Structure 1
Amino acid sequence: MTTEFLLTSVILTLTPGPGVVFTLAASLSRGAKAGVVAALACTLGIVPHMLLALTGAAAVLAASPAAFETIRWLGVAYLLYMAWGSWTGTGALTPSGGGEAPSYRATVTSALLVNLLNPKLSLFFFAFLPLFVDSNAPGALWRMALLSALFMAVTLVIFVGYGLCAALLSEHVVTRPAVMAVLGRVFAVSFVAMAAHLALVV
């Protein structure tokens, strides 16, 4: 059962989402360290959702349209904010070396918010974990916590991998303003698409 959970987690985490896009943007513009910081912060952004699931609050969130809608629209607004930063070159794609490059603290804050304001993660833990844990078995809560930690570990490894791969191209990107501008547009469109999906589908 743990193997099935691990394989499913790998497949889900490999699928590009807001965290992956943010990590790629940070790595491409500011190198491996920024990418690793972004990956770590995105992973930490999962913790609140995990705690909601373990305490049963995720069920309350899922059953409360007002609470869910509030978080959902905050998530939409933040993704659009990220899109604007990417489009204008003032967000994660601001290269290091320029006076306006985001600090690591700003990178951590942005990465945390990317996942913190994603209600799909709460629903993921609420709906996904019970498939692999018998809630009536002894130690069910601890098993859920263990699987949640495993999911976070998978997320961190894959996000760091994405970041390090993107960092290999960083030197070839930041020295070409035209390429940076195109990438900014690409990431901006990606954030807008994810915001639209969160607004219209979830």
Structure 2
Amino acid sequence: MNVEFLLTSLVIIASPGTGALVTLAAGLARGARASVVAAVGCTLGTLPHMLAAITGLAALLHASPMAFEAIKYVGVAYLLYMAWMTLRADGPLQIAPDGLADSDGKVIQQAVLANLLNPKLSIFFFAFLPQFIGPGEARPTRTMLELSLAFMAMTFAVFAAYGVIAASFRDRVLSRPGVLHWMRRAFAVTFVALAARLALVRL
């Protein structure tokens, strides 16, 4: 496996983003197990982008500004929805005591959508992965698939680590109602900031 690819991927994955935020929220709201479930969902959310890049669909997306804009603004709308739901006391990403937890299926659904509705991932796979495939590569599709799977494995590991670390602070957060209030606001503001950043993305 290309060391440069692994290091570059690690930097990209570890950078703050929607998936990391969803996993952190799950860890704080529902504990370590829920954060791992959310990490699984975020990882699964990268799968359609990976397949699009391998099959060439990402190239079509890159060549069609209208399609890119449509997907982008659906993603922006979803991030704003996440911000609004986070502010609600009974929202799916609430930082709340035990007994109000969502099912694993709902956590995975939220996490998958967070990454699925992000057209930047398709462009990332389309533009980034081919750089690590040599011009004389005998099986370029197989190599691209292997690199993509490595990226997904790293995504899960990093996001799960984020969530488990967040879960370790859960009891301290839950014991301070004022902290819960401001944390919900912080998550909401971050989702709005991510939506704004996505809205400014251009092909």
State TM-score, norm by structure 1: 0.95
The Cα of 1:181 is off from its aligned counterpart by 1.0
| Cα shift at 1:111 | 0.3
Please give the alpha-carbon distance, in whole angstroms, between the structure 1 residues aligned to 2:99 and 2:77. Answer: 27
Once the two structures are superposed, residues 91-149 of structure 1 have per-residue CA deviations (whole angstroms, 9 ceiling, x without a partner) of 312425344x3222111110000000000000000000011012552101100000000
The AA in structure 2 aligned to 1:92 is L
CA distance in 2 between counterparts of 1:36 and 1:92 reads 15
Aligned sequence identity (%): 52
Q: How does 1:33-182 map to 2 (within 5 A)?
A: 33-89=33-89, 90-99=91-100, 101-134=101-134, 136-182=136-182
Q: Distance in 1 between matches of 2:58 and 2:162?
A: 29
The one-letter code matched in structure 2 to 1:38 is A
Could you tell me whether the CA contact under 8 Å between 2:28 and 2:95 is conserved in 1?
no
Residue aligning to 2:17: 17
Q: Can you give the 5+ residue segments of structure 2 that lack an aligned partner in the other structure? A: none
Aligned residues: 201
Show the counterpart of 2:32.
32
1-structure distance, mates of 2:5, 2:97: 38
Unaligned runs of 5+ in 1: none
Q: CA deviation at 1:66?
A: 1.8
Structure 1 outlier segments of 4+, above 3 Å = none
Q: C-alpha root-mean-square deviation of aligned residues, in Å?
A: 1.3
Paired with 2:49 and 2:71, the residues of 1 have a C-alpha distance of: 12
Shift in CA distance, 107/135, structure 1 to aligned 2, threshold 3 Å: farther
Cα distance between partner residues in 2 of 1:135 and 1:85: 47
Single out whichever of 81-90 and 31-40 deviates more from structure 2. Answer: 81-90
Q: Which residue of 2 aligns with 1:6?
A: 6
Give the SS at the match of 2:110. Answer: helix
Query: Which whole-Å CA distance do the structure 2 matches of 1:94 and 1:24 have between them?
Result: 10
> Residue 11 of structure 2 aligns to which amino acid in structure 1?
I
- Over 3 Å counting, the alpha-carbon distance change for 1:7 and 1:72 in structure 2 is same
**Letter of the aligned partner of 2:164 in structure 1?**
L
Deviation per CA, 1:18-55: give whole Å up to 9, x if none.
Answer: 00001001101110011000011100100000000000
